[in-house]
Amino acid sequence: MSIMTRVIIYYLDMLDKANLRHSTRSHPDATIQRADVPSPEFNRFLYSAVGGDWHWHERLTWSYGQWMQWLDRKEQETWVAYVRGTPAGYVELEHQPNGNVEIAYFGLLPQFIGQGLGGQLLGFGIQRAWDWGANRVWVHTCSLDHPSALRNYQARGLRLYKEEEKWVLLPGDTPGPWPNSQRTPLIKHPIQE
C-alpha cells in the first residue's frame, strides 16, 4: 500500500575547506579504499544495502548500461569503507561544472551504524572533494534518511542553505536491501499524511 508522505529536503554546502571538521571518533578496524574499476554490480549492491531502509529506489530500475554510463566517467568516484574486509559503507562523489563536487550518495550498511564510522567516512569524502579541486562541496538529504544524517553533515562543517517540502507517494514499508528480504528495518519511519 502506498501512502502520500511529507518529505523535507535539506540542502547543505561547504564553501571553504577550512570549515571541514573531521570526526574525533573513528573505527579501529576501518579502511577506506577507492573502487577504481567501474562495477555496476558492486555499486548497485552498495546503493541497495545502504539505502534500502531509507527509500532509496530511483536507481533500482537502472539497467546495467545505465549504471556503467554513470560509473565509467572521470567525474565520478566511489570510496568504500571496509571493516575487516567487509564493505561497511560508501561515499559517492561527482565532480560537476564550476568546481562543484556533490556528495551524490553516502551511508553505512545497517550493522555498522553507531560505531564511529559515519563521521570518519564523511570527513574522508569531504576531504577528497577538496583534494579533487572543489570550490564548493554540497549534498542534499531528506527527512526519510537516517535520523543522524543531517546532524552528521552539519558536524562535519556543511551548512544548511535551503529546505524544501514536497509530498511523495511511497510504499508503506521500505524495500530493505533486496526485495522480500524479510529483514526488519533498522528504523521504521513514521508516515505523515
Cβ(146)–Cβ(54) below 8 Å: yes
Q: Are strands 30-34 and 2-14 parallel, antiparallel or unpaired?
A: unpaired
Q: pLDDT by residue (tens digit) across 102-154?
A: 999 999 999 999 999 999 999 999 999 999 999 999 999 999 999 899 999 99
Q: Is the pLDDT of residue 25 over 60?
A: yes
The residue behind cell 551524490 is: 104
Q: What is the architecture of the domain spanning 9-163?
A: 3-Layer(aba) Sandwich (3.40)
At 158, the amino acid letter reads L
Greater model confidence, 86 or 168: 86
pLDDT band at 189 (very low <50, low <70, confident <90, very high): very low
Residue 124, pLDDT score: 98
All three cell numbers of 73: 566517467
DSSP secondary structure code for residue 52 in this structure:
G
Number of H helices and number of E strands within the chain? 4, 7
State the SS3 of 140-189. Answer: EEECCCCCCHHHHHHHCCCEEEEEEEEEEEEECCCCCCCCCCCCCCCCCC
Q: Is the pLDDT of residue 181 over 70?
A: no
Q: pLDDT by residue (tens digit) across 69-84?
A: 999 999 999 999 999 9
Distance between start and end Cα atoms, the chain: 13
Greater model confidence, 182 or 122: 122
Q: What is the mean pLDDT of residues 63-72?
A: 98
Q: Is the pLDDT of residue 188 over 60?
A: no
Residue 115, pLDDT score: 93
Residue 180, pLDDT score: 64
All three cell numbers of 14: 561547504
pLDDT band at 57 (very low <50, low <70, confident <90, very high): confident
**pTM for the complete prediction?**
0.90
Greater model confidence, 175 or 96: 96
Residue 90, pLDDT score: 98
**CA-angle at 66, arms to 65 and 70, nearest 5°:** 115
- b/e per residue, 96-119, with b = 16+ CB within 10 A? eeeeebbbbbbbbbbebbebebbb
All three cell numbers of 152: 552528521
All three cell numbers of 18: 577550512
